[in-house]
Structure 1
């Protein structure tokens, strides 16, 4: 598989969104089964390395915060990476902008994850949204 092929980039973008949405909405085991490769390297310090750490984290989030929601604002792909720019809303209207990066293997499966999360403040020094 060559990553210069736009088909692969578009498929990886779709898979990254479907993976994250499936996990976020409460079925991380299915997300792993469908979209993760032979390994899953985790860089978020709040989530244990590997697929079981990912599953445990998202199952706990679904149990504790079932009313959370996510909107995908941007999806960008280059090479073997896909970046997701999301807007998350949690109970009490607690809102976050997240940026997630996923690395795909040669089979189009996710094998590595990085993220950055920033809470949306009530006031801003400028009139622009954070997304």
Structure 2
């Protein structure tokens, strides 16, 4: 099943009255179904922020935007967690030593010199370490 088809299926489940649009009330009911609580005013703000031009209702394109923004938030959280595993405590960066330590934990033995070479491939500012932004670019490459 394609991502678009998945979204259509989910959209249709949320669109209780079948009018091709999700009202703030329908969206609120859906959020409740996944064990979360939002006030109707909060849901209306979400619908409005997605550029609702359909009388305060969320069309399919806006729904896809909402779903994809959630996917991006989850990806960023996963990246931050992964970065935290590799970073040297207190410096908010990945050093050759911290990379060596993490690779060893993963069963991959590398020398500090090899880790320097690995870091240099993605070290955009030449400071010898990877910031989160450089790590993100490396992971998305």
Q: TM-score, normalised by structure 1?
A: 0.25
Structure with greater strand share of residues: 1
More relative contact order, 1 or 2 (CA 8 Å, 6+ apart): 1
Q: TM-score, normalised by structure 2?
A: 0.24
Structure with greater helix share of residues: 2
| Structure with max Cα Rg | 2
